[in-house]
Amino acid sequence: MRSYYTSDQVRAAEAALIAALPHGVPMQRAAYGLATVVAAELRERTGGVVGRGVTLLVGSGDNGGDALWAGSMLRRRGVAVSAVLLDPARAHVEGLAALRSAGGRIVDTIGDPDLVVDGIVGISGRGPLRPAAADLVAAVHVPIIAVDLPSGVDPDTGAVDGPAVTAAVTVTFGVRKPVHVLAAPRCGRIELVPIGLRLGDAELSAFDAADVGASWPVPGPADDKYTQGVVGICAGSATYPGAAVLCTGAAVAATSGMVRYAGTGASDVLAHTPEVVAAQSVRESGRVQAWVIGPGVGTDDTAYDTLTDVLATDLPVLVDADGLTMLAADPDLARGRTAPTLLTPHAGEFERLTGSPPGADRVDAVRALAQDWEVTVLLKGRATVIAAPDSTVFVNEAGGSWAATAGAGDVLAGVIGALLAAGIEPAAAAAMGSKAHALAANLAAVADSSCGAPISAGPLSAQIRAAIRVLREQSKAVISQPM
């Protein structure tokens, strides 16, 4: 499990560390780690360190101090280091003296370096880059290594509302922050440098591949098709028969139990997955341990009655797509439930449910809906945010946007529904399913080309089993590592 700590949490932990150590030690630790990463990046990109050039973009806070101290260490290793001071009168005094003592230069322009270090603002910064900094960043044509976070990107929400840095590498100190997962494309590769911070529980967490693989339900010695979890799928219609095929097919691939289908698309479903047990309606479908309803079912009276029947059960229910549209018109169907309910909207559906878009702070928006309705909410996106009614929040960064294709949400609903039926609680099922779904999309994208190519939902669904296999292999690799 990876944890992400807010700027307030980090500042409190840094204050405690600074009070406990001799003056300057925490910054020296951070700077040494930063210099080590920059040197390694120089070797990787240019083949050496001595004689290479690095330009520091230096702001007025400790972030700039980290950059200056790291620059002094790089200079002593033979790197030609220059620094552009955004606010010379407020530059970190000791860091600036160290850089000058080591032979670093203070300049007014970027020059022609091999790498640029972004030390403009840190976790206390808010809003876009100011014009002078924005002009400097716009002039950079080499990779940027960000100090703690890319300047101009909000540390807690990952939001960008103007000029901001896009880094090839971000070196973060002590712990990861929300920006590193919510704005991953801006951060590039994350390098974590331990500096001795001590923190409690994080407000935002993410499942590692090994976590998901270790928890994925597989048949045990005493299991049969019923004990592993039976999921019911209400999806598809005459207008959208493919939704039924994609949703049930994903559920079949996700676990080894049984999938029951209730709806008008039985012939299409059985043509693709004959192992599915099909019925015309929920009431005729037989016993299940969880329901998925919504993909492609429409919003007519029949669909509404089916949604009402499903939500009237005492079973976990995942509501997606058309089901969310109907819930937006009648929220009490979900709000009054005592059994677990999981809503899986994209941004547009979220706005229909709440009356406003998620906004810049997606985590806060999802948490608020989950608490208000007493449901679990999964907000889709490259960084998928999942919140439970108790304020537990998970995030899954997909590593790409290959799943941004029609029908991919139907596949995701089927995978998560199967996990719900296996007895996994909704927030964890949503996080696990999102991880497998994103990996399947990435596998599908590179199946015929190492550089990736656009995919559709069919190839994505076809890679669900392969994705689960990779996740389980990751968990076994962690278990087998020597202590």
Binding residue per annotation — 382?
A: yes
Token representation of residue 38: 């920059």
- Residue 32 CB coordination number (10 Å): 16
Token representation of residue 292: 């998925």
Token representation of residue 104: 């670093």
- Name residue 82's beta-bridge partners: 55, 105
List C-alpha distances in Å: 238 to 271, 407, 410: 16, 16, 16
Q: What is the dihedral of CA 410, 411, 416, 422, to 10 degrees?
A: 120
Taking the C-alpha atoms of residue 202 and residue 4, their distance in angstroms, rounded to an integer, is: 6
Binding residue per annotation — 296?
A: yes
Token representation of residue 19: 């009070």
| CB 458, CB 246: distance < 8 Å | yes
- DSSP state letter for 176: B
Taking the C-alpha atoms of residue 345 and residue 356, their distance in angstroms, rounded to an integer, is: 13
Binding residue per annotation — 257?
A: no
Binding residue per annotation — 380?
A: yes
User: Helix, strand, or coil here: 292?
Assistant: strand
Binding residue per annotation — 243?
A: yes
DSSP annotation string for 54-102: EEEEE-SSHHHHHHHHHHHHHHHTT-EEEEEESSGGGS-HHHHHHHHHH
Binding residue per annotation — 201?
A: no
- DSSP state letter for 406: T
Binding residue per annotation — 60?
A: no
Binding residue per annotation — 359?
A: no
Pairing state of beta strands 80-85 and 53-58? parallel
Q: What are the percentages of helix, strand and coil residues in the chain, rounded to 5?
A: 45, 15, 40
Rama region for 449: left / alpha / beta (φ>0; ψ in -120 to 50; rest): beta
Binding residue per annotation — 151?
A: yes
Binding residue per annotation — 126?
A: yes
Binding residue per annotation — 122?
A: yes
Q: Tokens 């493919």, residue?
A: 242
Taking the C-alpha atoms of residue 199 and residue 373, their distance in angstroms, rounded to an integer, is: 31
Token representation of residue 97: 């003296």
Binding residue per annotation — 65?
A: yes
For the chain, the straight-line distance linking the first and the last C-alpha, in angstroms and rounded, comes to 18
Binding residue per annotation — 66?
A: yes
Binding residue per annotation — 472?
A: no
Token representation of residue 202: 């994080």
Token representation of residue 86: 């955004």
Binding residue per annotation — 45?
A: no
Binding residue per annotation — 67?
A: no
Binding residue per annotation — 158?
A: no
| CB 440, CB 461: distance < 8 Å | yes
| Residue 172, C-beta contacts closer than 8 angstroms, at least 6 positions apart | 148, 149, 180, 190, 191, 192, 193
- DSSP state letter for 139: T
Which residue ranges make up the annotated binding site for (6S)-NADPHX?
62-66, 122-128, 148, 243, 296, 346, 410
Which residue ranges make up the annotated binding site?
62-66, 118, 122-128, 148, 151, 243, 296, 346, 380-384, 409-410
Which residue ranges make up the annotated binding site for AMP?
380-384, 409
Which residue ranges make up the annotated binding site for K(+)?
63, 118, 151
